[in-house]
Structures are given as C-alpha cells and as structure tokens.
Amino acid sequence: MVKPDTENPNGSVPALAQREFQQIRELAYRTFGLDLKAGKEELVSARLQRLVRSGGFRSYHEYCRHVLEDRTGESLLALVDALATNHTSFLREPDHFDFLRDNVLPALARRESVEIWSAACSTGEEIWTLACLARDAQPHTRIRLVGTDISRKALAQAQRAVYSVERMNGLPPAWIKRYFAAEEGSHPSFRVKPEIRAMAAFERINLIEPISWPKQFPVVFCRNVMIYFDRSTQQRVIANLSRGLEPGGYLFVGHAESFTGIDHRLEYVRPAVYRRPAGKKGGPWSGSL
C-alpha cells in the first residue's frame, strides 16, 4: 500500500494532471457510475484537494493508488462522498408531489401500509417532503419510507433531519408547524419531529449494483441522479429501479432526465413519471428491461 508523506501533511497539492484526472474519472465510473466529462478537472481538483492534503499525499496519482490499495474500502467511500453531488431542496419539482397526492396515493388508500422508496435521497429534503405529504393525504395509513444514497455524508445529514431556516423556504407554514420543531442554537434551524422521523429508514446503496428488496414498492422516486450517468449506466440503473417496482407502481425521475434510447418496459404516464404495467403479482420482474 502507498504510504503518504506524513512529514508535510498540510503541504501544498500539485495541480491535477490530465493523466491523474483520467485515472480518477475511470475509478469514479467503475465504482459508482459517475460520468466525469472533460472539463470537470477543476471541480475534481477542488473536491479532492482536502483528502489529498489531509492524507499527506504528494500527488493525486499517489492518492489514487492509496484508494485502490486500501482494502478497508474507507478511502473509496470518502472519495465517493467528495465527488457525489448532493444538490436538493424541499418540494423540488412540485408537480410530482401534486400528482402523487391527487392521483397515486388515493389509489393506495385501502392498503394497511404503503411503502415509498426515495432511491437517491441525498440530504433528506425529498424524503421528508414525501413524509409530510403522505401524512397529510393519508393520516390513517401506515406510511413507510426508505431513503437510500451512495454518500455516507448525505445519509448522515438525512438521518439527522435538521435543516436551516433558509433550507425551509417554500415549505407550507402548516407543515412547518405540524411536522418540525425549532432547534435552539446560534443558527436558527428546524428538526423533523419524532413521529415523522419514525416513518423513514435509511440505507447506503449503489444504484449501479444489483439491488434486492424483500418486497416491491408502489412508488419509487429517483430524481436528478441519472443525469450524471452515461447511457449504458442509465440503462442499468433503470433496470434496477424497475425491478423494485410492483406491477402498476410509479417511477418518478427528474424533468431533465430522458429515457430516449434506453430499452425499458415502463409505460409513460406524464413528463418524468413512468409506470410499470399492471399484471400478475409475483417475484422480481424478469425479462429485457
């Protein structure tokens, strides 16, 4: 294993060379599907500089060798946390939530429980939006939410469920009053109340790897993550998500994401909403996806 230069752990980091960018680009693509386009060198350098400097590595090449040789996997997870984009907000793309409230949840109202998978939940704003909306729309239904993401850092923030006042902008005042509690401290913030927090469970998942669930979901949200994948990786992710959908279940993707050129068997419902064809219930969906 490469031994970092511990004599000068806070020294300056040389500029990212093109061959080093290519090395990082290939590693990110192979491990979690991130398609780093040419021109992202400055972004990669900025996001990894702290890890390179704090580890005492003399170059990005030396750092990459360390990541590859670290059998604990911790260095790779830290790289994923640094490169993953976690931009999100409450009620992002609000027409999705309107459609869920007005069309999807009413059709599930007779169920004893409804499970919803937020497949790229990031720092949690999406999953807590879903929790508030579902509690409002179906107060007597047991709603279970599963939030997954590849970034441990993002998942930790989602689980903590504390957000600054600025992050809360745009939320209905009634939701803030019912479902959040003010936090004391130097920076005004709100915490999701325990009864809402108890609706969700979180798990680290890599969407490009095979995924197995004990049961399928009637609703899956996976928005604004596939824009970072190339077409072949998108194909694999959509296949994984489709297998997680029960017959008749809905998949919500980002409005900037297109299924054009991807082989799938989902039905188009409306912009950025797809549905698995209803049919005989059973195990995981097989066949060409």
Residues 113 and 238 in one domain: yes
Please answer whether residues 14 and 72 qualify as being in contact, where contact means their C-beta atoms are separated by less than 8 angstroms: no
Residues 109 and 179 in one domain: yes
Q: How far is the C-alpha of 20 from the C-alpha of 128, rounded, in Å? A: 39
Please answer whether residues 64 and 23 qualify as being in contact, where contact means their C-beta atoms are separated by less than 8 angstroms: yes
Please answer whether residues 249 and 277 qualify as being in contact, where contact means their C-beta atoms are separated by less than 8 angstroms: no
Using one digit for the tens of pLDDT, what is the confidence trace for 195-246?
999 999 999 999 999 999 999 999 999 999 999 999 999 999 999 999 999 9
Residues 57 and 169 in one domain: no
Residues 231 and 162 in one domain: yes
**Average pLDDT over the chain, rounded to an integer:** 90
Residues 145 and 247 in one domain: yes
Alpha helices in the chain (DSSP H): 18-32, 41-54, 60-69, 74-83, 94-99, 105-107, 125-137, 152-160, 173-179, 194-197, 231-243
DSSP-assigned letters across all residues of 69-106: H-TTSHHHHHHHHHH------TT-SHHHHHHIIIIIHH
Task: Give the pLDDT score at 153.
Answer: 93
Cα dihedral 129/131/137/141 (nearest 10): 170
Please answer whether residues 282 and 246 qualify as being in contact, where contact means their C-beta atoms are separated by less than 8 angstroms: no
Residue 160 belongs to a domain? yes
pLDDT at 10 over 90: no
pLDDT at 101 over 60: yes
Using one digit for the tens of pLDDT, what is the confidence trace for 154-163?
999 999 999 9
Angle in degrees, CA 61, 62, 65, rounded to 5? 90
Residue 2 belongs to a domain? no
- Of the CA atoms within 13 Å of residue 256, those in its CB half-sphere come to 9
Residue 285 belongs to a domain? no
Residues 111 and 238 in one domain: yes
Section 16-31 average pLDDT? 94
Q: pLDDT band for position 261 (50/70/90)?
A: confident
User: Which residue range(s) make up the domain with 37?
Assistant: 18-83
Task: Give the pLDDT score at 6.
Answer: 45
Residue 267 belongs to a domain? yes
Residues 103 and 59 in one domain: no
Dig out the tokens for 244 from the structure. 């997680």
Domain count, the chain: 2
Residues 69 and 209 in one domain: no
Residues 217 and 107 in one domain: yes
Residue 238 belongs to a domain? yes
Residues 126 and 200 in one domain: yes
Residue 196 belongs to a domain? yes
Q: What CATH number is given to the structural domain containing 63?
A: 1.10.155.10
Please answer whether residues 152 and 123 qualify as being in contact, where contact means their C-beta atoms are separated by less than 8 angstroms: no
Domain endpoint, select from 33, 58, 83:
83
Using one digit for the tens of pLDDT, what is the confidence trace for 109-123?
999 999 999 999 999
Residue 283 belongs to a domain? no
Task: Give the pLDDT score at 260.
Answer: 85
Domain endpoint, select from 30, 61, 83:
83
Q: What CATH number is given to the structural domain containing 114?
A: 3.40.50.150
The strand ranges marked E within 150-284 are 162-164, 180-183, 189-192, 200-204, 217-222, 245-253, 267-270, 273-275
Residue 5 belongs to a domain? no
Q: pLDDT band for position 75 (50/70/90)?
A: very high
Section 254-259 average pLDDT? 92
Residues 37 and 105 in one domain: no
Residues 27 and 126 in one domain: no
253: three-class secondary structure by DSSP: strand
Nearest to 219 by CA among 105, 113, 59: 105
Task: Give the pLDDT score at 7.
Answer: 42
48 by Cβ neighbours in 10 Å (0-12 / 13-18 / 19+) ranks as buried
For tokens 């279970």, name the residue: 144
